[in-house]
Structure 1
Amino acid sequence: MFEERRLYDGAVGRRQAPADQAAVRRSNLGLVLRHLRDAGPRSRARIAQDTGLNKATVSSLVAELADRRLITTGDVDRAGAVGRPGLIVHLDGRGVCGIGVELNVDYAAILVLDLRGEVLFEHRVALDVPELGPERTLDEVARLVNETLEAAARDVVPVGLTVAIPGLVRSVDGVAGYAPNLGWRDVPVREGLRARVGLDCPIRVENDANLSAIAEWAMGPEARTPDLVYLTGEVGVGGGVIVDGRLLRGAGGLSGEVGHTALGDPDLVCGCGRRGCWETVVGLSALLRAAADPGDPVHDHGRDLETRLAEIAARADAGDRRSLDALHRVGTGLGTGAAVLINLFNPQVVLLGGYFAVLGRFLLEPMAAELRARVFAPDLADARIVLSTLGFTAAVRGGAYVALESVFDDPTLIPVDAAMDPAPAAGS
């Protein structure tokens, strides 16, 4: 029997009410739509076989999804057909989009996905968030969102906006509880943006590493790996853990703050105010401090981050001893912490994102040496270390993906095309 798997559920601990007939139909519409996203195009008969729904019900559901312009039918399915061949059903939803926004210490980024997971628009701007403070930063984010809607989303309906924040986030009310590298405490991000942007759709706020892990699971190089650890390196260090295909959120949704484990230099003060956090030795600030003097251009927050990282890579390629030593030190420190995570979670894959992925070719060798010395099980417990191909877009991709989940949960949020007759209500 087909089992529907959901990686993200923003309503953790939600009590389920008894379902009426309309709710059952909404659930079945979502089941078909989600299956087309996850399994790819297929015939109605194959959908019925995969999901356990009967053929008449699937035909009715497909007709309604088509009326809502969420699916289309295409080529004839001739593979193994007995009798009259059916048409292949494809996920469509080009008129629907989800928006992801990421705030970090020195930039803001935005990305728009359609229902098929295709990027409609993306942009990143340099932004000194700690200097601007919460109110001016939210003004800039609102401007970015409104400009994006004007430029790229005229012909699509936004169904959600998700904001990624590096720190502790209360997703239930959209408050950034504590983001030390931003200098934020108890900032009402959701309500602040709701008052600033002209969006009639849900706004969510989530931890950036968790959203990045979701993006990797959904569309990264190791998509659908059931047991995965994601590590992202920026000014801070974050982690997202997926166990048996589900995001590990923790009792209060606050898991993933691996950068503040006591694996760093006890003489160094972290951005959180404590000493000895892991990010004091592997975070971006640690790399830059070791690789260059304070006045060096790689420390200039007004320059694009990838440009600064490219300069460090160029120096290392040219044999600059200071750059190579700094990268080696970070790689070793990365192995120390990753070994703890492998021993604890036994993942199939450890994915390196953020600047770890950009400079990964310099980090992997010292990291692997440290892992071999510290992972308890032989052969690294069969874990593979993989560089993300999503780069610095992982958090915004995850945010846009989560924003689209409302449509997969309830496709009736998208109105029936006025030019078409309503789909039959029978056959739930």
Structure 2
Amino acid sequence: MFEERRLYGSTTRREAPADQASVRRSNLGLVLRHLRDAGPRSRARIAQDTGLNKATVSSLVAELADRRLISAGDVDRAGSVGRPGLIVHLDGRGVCGVGVELNVDYVAILVLDLQGTVLVEHRVALDVPELGAERTLDEVARLVREAMAAAEARGAVPVGLTVAVPGLVRSVDGVATYAPNLGWRDVAVLDGLRARVDLDCPVRVENDANLSAIAEWAMGPEARTPDLVYLTGEVGVGGGLIVDGRLLRGAGGLSGEVGHTSLGDPELVCGCGRRGCWETVVGLTALLRAAADPDDPVHDHGRDLETRLAELAARADAGDERTLAALTQVGTALGTGAAVLINVFNPQVVLLGGYFAVLGRFLTEPMAAELRQRVFGPDLAGARIVLSTLGFTAAVRGGAHVALESVFDDPTLVPATGDDGASPAVGS
């Protein structure tokens, strides 16, 4: 029996009484997700894979085509008996999801269409703590307006927007309850954006590490790994935890704050006000403090973060002793905390994101040495340390992916073209 597992929201589809319209919406979503996850298929193959009967699949495919969510490709001649069918594939270029990230050093935005094609991508260097919440939201609103206009110019209508915030988030009303490295408490991100931008689509606010983990699970190098730990490498350090293919949110949705475990230097004050948090020894601030004097350009929040990290990498490649010692120090501390996560969650993969990935070639050796000393199970309990290839786009990609989930949950949200002849024909 075909089983559908949904990552966002940590839910699995259950059998429940439903009216005919609900069943049809569910089946439309089932076919659309299957084409996304399994790739182009004939109608006969879709029926075989999903357990739906062929007549039902034919009807569902016709409706999805009328909504321009799928289109026809080549003729399927492999093993065909009688008249060959057409291969159908995911289309959906007329809809898009928007991901936004607020972080200490920048704000970023990314727009994906239903096929996963990047339509718009932009990041602006910004000292968010200095700017404050209101002026930061002004800048975010400007980016959103520009990105949505660019997407609509390409014929893609936004179906959702997700904002990533590094801290505790109350998703029910979009309030950043506590983002210590931004200096924010009880900031109404959702209401603030809606007051600034005319948004005719759902808006969500989520923790950045959770969205990064979702992006890695959906489209990263270790996609669909059922047990995965993602570590953000920013000024703050968060964790996105995927256990048995589900995002682990915790009883109050506040899981993953691994940067505030007591694994750091007890003499160092964290952005949260406490002493000895893990991020005091592995966060970006810790690296910069150890690698460069306060007046060094790599500390300038107004400069692009990746440019600053490239300068550190160049110094390390040139053999600068202070930079290499700082990277070794951080890598070792990274191994100390990652060992705890491996011992507790026994993941298949520990993914290093953000600056951990950018400078990973200098961090992984001391990290691995520490892990070998501290992980209880043999061979790191089967865990592999992997550098993210999504870089600093993980959170915005995860946000755009979550925004698009509404279409996969209910494809009828996208209007049908009717009988105007504009929709692609899907043959038998």
Is TM (by shorter chain) over 0.5?
A: yes
The offset of 1:131, in angstroms, is 1.1
For 1:316, give the aligned amino acid: A
Q: TM-score, normalization: structure 1?
A: 0.96
**Over residues 294-342 of structure 1, what are the superposed CA-to-partner deviations in whole Å (9 max), with x where a residue is unaligned?**
0000000110000000000100110100000000000000000000000
For 1:359, give the aligned amino acid: L
For 1:160, give the aligned amino acid: G
The offset of 1:54, in angstroms, is 0.5
2:64–2:411 Cα contact (<8 Å) kept: yes
2:343–2:375 Cα contact (<8 Å) kept: yes
**Alignment of 1:195 onto 2:195:** yes
| Alpha-carbon spacing, 1:400–1:45, altered in 2? closer, same or farther (3 Å) | same
**Over residues 30-83 of structure 1, what are the superposed CA-to-partner deviations in whole Å (9 max), with x where a residue is unaligned?**
010011101110010111111111000000000000000000011111122222
For 1:415, give the aligned amino acid: P
Which residue of 2 is the match for residue 23 of structure 1? 22
Identity %: 86
Which residue of 2 is the match for residue 54 of structure 1? 53
For 2:82, give the aligned amino acid: G
The offset of 1:9, in angstroms, is 2.1
2:261–2:278 Cα contact (<8 Å) kept: yes
**Aligned ranges for residues 163-178 of structure 1 at < 5 Å?**
163-178=163-178
C-alpha separation between the residues in 2 aligned to 1:128 and 1:153?
30
For 1:263, give the aligned amino acid: L
Q: TM-score, normalization: structure 2?
A: 0.96
**Alignment of 1:150 onto 2:142:** no
For 1:64, give the aligned amino acid: E
| Alpha-carbon spacing, 1:422–1:152, altered in 2? closer, same or farther (3 Å) | closer
**Alignment of 1:86 onto 2:85:** yes
**Over residues 211-231 of structure 1, what are the superposed CA-to-partner deviations in whole Å (9 max), with x where a residue is unaligned?**
000000000001111111101
Q: Can you give the 5+ residue segments of structure 2 that lack an aligned partner in the other structure?
A: 424-428
**Over residues 186-230 of structure 1, what are the superposed CA-to-partner deviations in whole Å (9 max), with x where a residue is unaligned?**
111111111111220000000000000000000000111111110
Which residue of 2 is the match for residue 327 of structure 1? 327
2:225–2:348 Cα contact (<8 Å) kept: yes
| Alpha-carbon spacing, 1:14–1:194, altered in 2? closer, same or farther (3 Å) | farther
For 2:359, give the aligned amino acid: L
| Alpha-carbon spacing, 1:14–1:62, altered in 2? closer, same or farther (3 Å) | closer
Aligned pair count reads: 422
C-alpha separation between the residues in 2 aligned to 1:420 and 1:79?
33
Q: Can you give the 5+ residue segments of structure 1 that lack an aligned partner in the other structure?
A: 424-428
For 2:299, give the aligned amino acid: H
For 1:28, give the aligned amino acid: N
For 2:365, give the aligned amino acid: E
**Alignment of 1:139 onto 2:101:** no
**Alignment of 1:280 onto 2:301:** no
The offset of 1:153, in angstroms, is 2.8
C-alpha separation between the residues in 1 aligned to 2:233 and 2:43?
44
Which residue of 2 is the match for residue 239 of structure 1? 239
The offset of 1:84, in angstroms, is 2.2
**Aligned ranges for residues 326-345 of structure 1 at < 5 Å?**
326-345=326-345
Deviates more, 1:206-215 or 1:409-418: 409-418
1:416–1:422 Cα contact (<8 Å) kept: no
C-alpha separation between the residues in 1 aligned to 2:15 and 2:39?
29
1:168–1:178 Cα contact (<8 Å) kept: yes
2:151–2:157 Cα contact (<8 Å) kept: no
C-alpha separation between the residues in 2 aligned to 1:239 and 1:35?
29
For 1:358, give the aligned amino acid: V
**Alignment of 1:403 onto 2:398:** no
C-alpha separation between the residues in 1 aligned to 2:142 and 2:233?
27
Which residue of 1 is the match for residue 71 of structure 2? 72
The offset of 1:133, in angstroms, is 1.1
Which residue of 2 is the match for residue 289 of structure 1? 289
2:98–2:160 Cα contact (<8 Å) kept: yes
C-alpha separation between the residues in 2 aligned to 1:327 and 1:153?
44
